[in-house]
Structure 1
């Protein structure tokens, strides 16, 4: 049976290989600014999240942004739960990613440096990842086990 380190290494290699041959839509140098939006909340904290729900939207994510308001973020929505891994190669601002269970519970949070090829993965399979400016979750006192509501979590 493969160890967790071997699995993470394989995921990183597959992600890197996939992105190296990414289609043209993933290699544009224009930020996505007009995605659909969802209102989320974490306790009393309100979040205006752009929703990246298609493969192209998810591949581009927050790349090429030079700034992002503190109350805004991007919610990545996947078709089914899987170990999700993110990197920051063409992302110009440092971010924190909260990996979220189907009910909006935070599974784990990763702080990610701008322009870094380092991969950050969910601790278990998830369908949602919320990226905010780096440190946002820590500043709000949010940690694994805390729940977000609204958007796709409103009906759970």
Structure 2
């Protein structure tokens, strides 16, 4: 009985399944890494510069009015990210969907009026994200590693990434793994970000 070819085929199928699971989970980022990072603070940028039609198509570095926020674990500062503030319904709805790209340490901070359960989707995105929920006292409650939805996905078919918090930080996918930011770490927000 020839079991050699069958064993090879089953082995290849097993490797393929493991590979797909690793890619979908974002585990590859912790295994391979995505480069070095600078320790420091999270810089929050308020406002955004839009085009004549009101659509934002620039990268996050073209915003104005920066303020500083730190992301820490119990012992040390972990990461640096510059973000724009989305603190109104229209800004939160648009989010980063018309942003063509982010630098490695750029993103957006969504500010809700009160703490609650919120859901975010990858509507019209050009790049995958880490979606990080932060409660009212600054503790990170949930981290999602969100891939781009398959091409042709309708808005009603978009996967919802939900979590508990008052704030949501969106950054390039893999940022949390690369910087070591995890659930339970703290985001220190300045008085001006309510």
TM-based fold match above 0.5: yes
Q: Establish whether residue 55 from structure 1 lines up as the match of residue 89 from structure 2.
A: yes
Q: Establish whether residue 69 from structure 1 lines up as the match of residue 103 from structure 2.
A: yes
Larger radius of gyration: 2
- Tell whether the 8 Å contact from 1:97 to 1:129 is kept in structure 2 after alignment: yes
CA 1:97–1:62: 2 relative to 1, 3 Å: same
State how far apart, in whole Å, the 1-side matches of 2:123 and 2:193 are.
Answer: 33
Aligned residues: 126
TM-score, normalization by structure 2: 0.58
1:137 counterpart (164, 167, 176)? 176
SS of the counterpart of 1:148?
A: strand
Q: How does 1:76-95 map to 2 (within 5 A)?
A: 76-95=110-129
Alignment correspondent of 2:161: 120
CA 1:71–1:149: 2 relative to 1, 3 Å: same
TM-score, normalization by structure 1: 0.71
Shifted more, 37-46 versus 126-135: the winner is 37-46
How big is the alpha-carbon RMSD for the aligned residues of Structure 1 and Structure 2? 2.5
Which whole-Å deviations, capped at 9, do the CAs of 1:57-116 have from their partners, x for residues lacking one? 000000022210111110000001111100002111100011001121110100112246
Q: Establish whether residue 39 from structure 1 lines up as the match of residue 73 from structure 2.
A: no
Gap regions ≥5 residues in structure 1 = 1-27
